[in-house]
Structure 1
Amino acid sequence: MILPDGYSDIPAGKIAAVVTHLEMTARPARRADPPGAPSGLWTLRKVDTPALHWYRDLHRRVGEEWLWFSRARMNDAELAAVIHAPGVEVYTLVVDGRDEGLLELDFREAGQCELVYFGVTAKLIGSGAARFMMNHALEIAWSRDLSRVWVHTCTFDHPSAVAFYQRFGFRPFRRQIEIADDPRLDGTVPRTAARHMPIIG
């Protein structure tokens, strides 16, 4: 359904976001790691068959403020079916021995890679850690026989997300509206999360 021009009401208890899909169809030139990146203190670690409690904790610490709710609503069997699936790879950014970033790559569609989840914890925003992690994410993705890497982000996310992806060579190609139940109203995430998106319900 195509929304008409002008304002469209969103029912109480719902949230709405503008979703931007971005892609690259060739390996980009590698960007330099951020100046002053702590040599040897930031590492990207692949996590084979992630423990569900570990994944849920990191997903929450990285994404709760940006209303990453779809995985939080999954039961254990549903979550395991996704993150343990052949072709899905989970990585973490390790900072001073602690897992502080989440990268999830989906290679299940031949010739393509989706960056399903990408983000760092709040204390690392603005530190260059996300730039460091994206450099390594693209190296991993383009080491495979691919024709496309893609990602989507939305207006729940950090306001610099679209510009960040574009700096790495992603190009916007599609825009959608997503409407969902507000996860703060059913306890999926705390009511204090995402103050940039007020609760109406």
Structure 2
Amino acid sequence: MSSVPVTIWSLEQTSASDLLPAAAPEGDDLRIVRAEVPSPEFSRFLYASVGGDIHWTDRLGWDYARWQGFLDRPGVETWVAYDRGTPAGYVELEAQDEGVVEIVYFGLLPAFRGRRIGGHLLSYGIARAWDLAERWPDRTPTKRVWLHTCSKDGEFAMANYLRRGFTLFDTKVEEEAVVSTPGPWPGAYPA
């Protein structure tokens, strides 16, 4: 199997005041709602639909039980953007030890990219990372929010993170296997 080098950048915010929010897109009937009922089917749909054309592969082999186990963990949240009732994208948060929250996944379905939804959704997700302990009283208040992005992600991903107030703290290059990822189903979105 062939492989390609992938650059991975890790970014962080260390204060809620680091967040530089983007404005909501004008004219869109956009709502962002927490998916409060853990649903492996829905989470896999979001993961495959957002990540299919940018080659997200690490969760493709997860079975139902593994999805359920992850989603049932205290401090794991999925926030979904809806445009006129249709899922447009999502932010997945995971509370970690010592007041750390990771933005594990963030992105838009291909049909919703380029409509100024991403900056607003990311801003909203970051704010929910900073106030996560308010919804999970057993968690330590958030002291740090971090994420990683890579050279496979969308061309505007890094710029969006930097505009939202993240700072770079690590860069590395890893070899990753080339895996065919057709999206949520073969032919769902042109590559």
TM-score (norm 1): 0.80
- Could you list the structure 1 runs, at least 4 aligned residues long, displaced by more than 6 angstroms after superposition: 191-194
Q: Give the corresponding residue for 2:4.
A: 15
Describe how 1:149-160 pairs up with structure 2 within 5 A: 149-160=145-156
| Secondary structure of 2:129 counterpart | helix
Distance, in Å, in 2 between the alignment partners of 1:190 and 1:175 is 33
Q: Shift in Å at residue 169 of structure 1? A: 0.6
Q: Is the 8 A contact 2:100 2:145 kept in 1?
A: yes
Q: Give the corresponding residue for 1:33.
A: 23
Larger radius of gyration, structure 1 or 2?
A: 1
* 1:190 to 1:157, Cα distance in 2 relative to 1, 3 A: farther
- Of 114, 123, 128, the residue aligned with 2:116 is 128
Per-residue displacement from partner, 1:124-160 (whole Å, max 9, x unpaired)? 1111111111121122112242211001000111122
**Paired positions, count:** 182
Distance, in Å, in 2 between the alignment partners of 1:176 and 1:189 is 31
Per-residue displacement from partner, 1:165-193 (whole Å, max 9, x unpaired)? 000110111111232332218x9985998
**Does residue 1:57 correspond to 2:45, yes or no?**
yes
Of 60-69 and 136-145, more deviation after overlay is shown by 136-145
Long gaps (5+) in structure 2: 134-140
Q: In structure 1, what residue type is equivalent to 2:49?
A: R
Q: Give the corresponding residue for 1:70.
A: 58
- Of 135, 157, 160, the residue aligned with 1:164 is 160
Distance, in Å, in 1 between the alignment partners of 2:76 and 2:44 is 16
Distance, in Å, in 1 between the alignment partners of 2:155 and 2:113 is 12
Of 114-123 and 80-89, more deviation after overlay is shown by 80-89
Q: Is the 8 A contact 1:92 1:99 kept in 2?
A: yes
User: Percent identity between the aligned chains?
Assistant: 26
Q: Is the 8 A contact 2:19 2:166 kept in 1?
A: no
Long gaps (5+) in structure 1: 1-11, 196-201
